Amino acid sequence: MRRMFFVGAWMLASALFTTTPAMAEIRIIQSPGGQVGPFLDLFEQVRESGERVVIDGPCLSACTLVLSIVPGERICVTKRAILGFHAARSVDRRGRFYAEPEASDAVLQAYPGPVRDWISRHGGLSSRLLLLKGRDLAAIYPRCR
């Protein structure tokens, strides 16, 4: 009897998980960025899951790779959303940053056209952080409902 309950509960849980992925969402509240690799892995999983991405705060640096991996129709932004872009860089053995122009070009080309255009109109990727927010951001990505 007990085994039957667990099998039934497992079947119910499986049914719920298979019918709700389109309703699930990932909410980015605050991400300063970081190493590119983990972000690529995470956003690839999100893309495959079918989950919607809600950008609800700062999404800076490597976090913005979400725009190049998750389909745009599954991304929405709130009034608190801020996207921060800068040129790619690496750190040498002494802890000094150096530019990675080829990586910057590759990242820029991977962004959707409207994002690339906005970055270009604002001076391109450089060592300074470009912040996309407010009306400019809402013109590219829909407000979350």
Q: Is residue 12 part of a domain?
A: no
pTM: 0.81
Q: Is residue 87 part of a domain?
A: yes
Report the domain count for the chain: 1
Name the residue among 68, 55, 74 with its Cα closest to residue 132.
55
pLDDT of amino acid 24: 85
pLDDT of amino acid 23: 62
Read off the CATH number of the domain in which 125 is found: 3.90.226.10
34 φ/ψ sector (left φ>0, alpha ψ -120 to 50, else beta): left
Confidence at 132, pLDDT banded by 50, 70, 90: very high
Mean pLDDT of the 114-125 span: 98
Q: Is residue 3 part of a domain?
A: no
Confidence at 145, pLDDT banded by 50, 70, 90: confident
Q: Is residue 4 part of a domain?
A: no
Q: Return the percentage of the chain with pLDDT > 90, whole number.
A: 82
Q: Is residue 5 part of a domain?
A: no
Domain span at residue 101 reads 24-138
Q: Is residue 134 part of a domain?
A: yes
